[in-house]
Amino acid sequence: MTLTQPSTSAPERVATRRTVLMCRPDHFTVSYRINPWMHPEDPTDTSLAVRQWETLYAKYQELGFEVQLIDGIAGLPDMVYAANGGFVLDGIAFGAKFQHPERQPEGPAYMEWFADHGFAVAEPESTNEGEGDFLLVGDTIYAGTGFRSDAASHDELRRIYGREVVTLTLTDPSFYHLDTALAVLDPRGGSDSIAFLPRAFDAASLDILDERFPDAIHVDDADAAVLGLNSFSDGKNVIIASRAAAFERQLRERGFTPHGVDLSELLLGGGGVKCCTLELRR
């Protein structure tokens, strides 16, 4: 008798334990508008934001992640989006330098946390919004520009980490940070290690993504519209917006285990799962 593997079988996915930094949204609200998702004229519910955030925090703990916390600061409502607080790799925290004055005090607050927790801090020279725009896939840093981080910050990344840095240009104001348009599914890399929204990138960037990731998941507009791509993966478990239904199916077909969480209140600020998560790599 011969056993044949079904050709459609999904690859085995491997989870590795992640260490992340988060910020409880005790001071969350929408009081200014720096992206198209934000409507300061509409009410927000801070206690609901906290409860929803706590489901994400609990999920990470359930998955065995180490979760560190930074205290939120009154008057900095976007501090919950910890991904923007810096980019951390090889024990070096590259500090953020925010584009909008409303968020600028967050940069030093996060740098102080990094220094207090044993990271070497590299002070930023040009505008950059941390892991919102910088994503590590394998040994390469994919760096977004177009709305927030200045392309000059990509040179700083090259100097600091000595790795390949690939610039990707974003073109749709609703997908203003790289982590709103591209999700890293397998941090080790590979042809199928990311998901992205093709129409969020310029033609040159799309060519790069198609060439390097020919088997990537392309998400649909409905999933992008709930920031489905703004997700976080340990290589096997992918925490996504619970409303991203088609993306959830696509992930299952590829052998990943999706976990939906509802962060609808934080979506009012233009952020989701990944925005609330800054990976700490020693």
Q: Which residues make up the interface to ligand ARG (CB under 6 A)? A: 34-35, 38, 78, 81, 83-84, 103, 132, 177, 179-180, 269-271, 275
For residue 2, the minimal CB distance to ligand ARG (Å) is: 50
The CA radius of gyration of the chain, in Å to the nearest whole number, is: 18
- In terms of CB distance, is 156 or 179 closer to ligand ARG? 179
Structure tokens at 122: 């590299």
CB-nearer residue toward ligand ARG: 84 or 237:
84
Q: How far is the CB of 181 from ligand ARG (least distance, A)?
A: 9
Give the residue among 234, 239, 236, 237 at the shortest CA–CA distance from 272: 239
Bridging pattern class, strands 278-279 and 232-233? unpaired
Minimum CB distance to ligand ARG, residue 183 (Å): 12
CB 144 within 8 A of CB 166: no
Note if 275 is an active site residue: yes
Q: How far apart are CA 5 and CA 11, in angstroms?
A: 12
Burial of 12 by CB count in 10 Å (0-12 exposed, 13-18 middle, 19+ buried)?
A: exposed
Tell me the closest approach of the beta carbon of residue 8 to ligand ARG, in angstroms: 34
Q: Select 102 or 192, whichever has its Cβ closest to ligand ARG.
A: 102
Q: In this structure, how many other beta carbons lie within 10 angstroms of the beta carbon of residue 6?
A: 6
Task: Supply φ then ψ for residue 218, to 5 degrees.
Answer: -105, 125
Choose between 25 and 258: whose C-beta lies nearer to ligand ARG: 25
Q: Which two tokens stand for residue 54?
A: 């706590």
Nearer to ligand ARG, 13 or 177 (CB): 177
Which is the catalytic residue, given 27, 177, 259, 276?
177
Cβ neighbors of 91 (< 8 A, separation 6 or more) are: 118, 119, 120, 281, 282
State the nearest-atom distance from the C-beta of 267 to ligand ARG, in Å.
10
**Catalytic (active-site) positions:** 177, 275
